[in-house]
Amino acid sequence: MSGSLFAPDDGPWAERLAAGTVLLHGWACADAERLLAAVDEVARRSPPRGMATPGGQAMSVTTTSCGDWGWVSDRRGYRYSAVDPDSGQPWPAMPAALRALARDAAEAAGFPGFDPDACLINCYLPGARMGLHQDKDERDFSAPIVSVSLGLPAVFLLGGSRRADPAAAMLLQHGDVLVWGGPDRMRFHGVKPVKPGEHPLLGGRRVNLTFRKAR
Ligand code: SIN
Ligand code: FE2
């Protein structure tokens, strides 16, 4: 017998899920330690914090950002801010390793020239989840969203452009990069509650990076 019937068992591979949606399996695995060091450096200056929805509900993830713009949510709404409201300082610059990963992944998914100005860092402990939503606080919908998953796996829900559209459930594992743009840019998406586990690099956590062109 030779090889796997399903997929190569070494190295990343691309799976096109729709015209504008590509799952790059294992794309970030080789770089994971470097990426996590960059994330830790960001988190040292702008620590992840719990935020509330505009309706006053506490979100179960903790969140920080790097880049020119950071995503914030509070009673005043969801928005991008040039300043970390906790520190009163600009967000940490986007580390070059993160920017390069996002650009290369976007290109591999068919979106060359992606130049993100915001990277949202969401941290999930077991039980943390994210309800179905669209990424629509950006000014420019012509750029894709590049989402990098690290640490514990999670079930990601990928819906359509209307909230009521059926959502496909897929497992996002450590190192997976999901890119959605073009006709799929406004897809609803969310994350089911993360199950407890132990990851060699991240312990009992999942970290998700989403790169966006905010302005
Ligand atoms: C998000 O939609 O901002 C996060 C997605 C994820 O954690 O996979
Ligand atoms: Fe999102």
* pLDDT per position as a tens digit, 92-102: 999 999 999 99
- Ligand 1 centroid to Cα of residue 3, in Å, is 33
| CB of 130 shorter than 6 A to ligand 1 | yes
Domain ranges, residue 39: 15-212
Reported pTM:
0.95
Say which residue the tokens 């796996």 belong to.
153
* pLDDT tens-place string over residues 2-37: 444 555 567 899 999 999 999 999 999 999 999 999
* CA-closest candidate to residue 142, choices 103, 113, 178: 113
Dist. CA 112–CA 107, nearest whole Å: 4
Q: What is the CATH number of the domain that holds 22?
A: 2.60.120.590
- Ligand 1 centroid to Cα of residue 124, in Å, is 10
Please indicate, yes or no, if residue 186 is contained in any of the structural domains: yes
Dist. CA 127–CA 19, nearest whole Å: 32
Say which residue the tokens 């969801």 belong to.
78
pLDDT at 122 over 90: yes
Of ligand 1's listed atoms, the one at least distance from the Cα of 172 is 8
Q: What residue's CA is closest to ligand 1, atom 7?
A: 208
* CA-closest candidate to residue 144, choices 98, 172, 179, 97: 179
Cα angle 202, 33, 206; round to 5? 30
Please indicate, yes or no, if residue 6 is contained in any of the structural domains: no
Please indicate, yes or no, if residue 76 is contained in any of the structural domains: yes
> pLDDT value at position 10?
73
How many separate domains does the chain show? Answer: 1
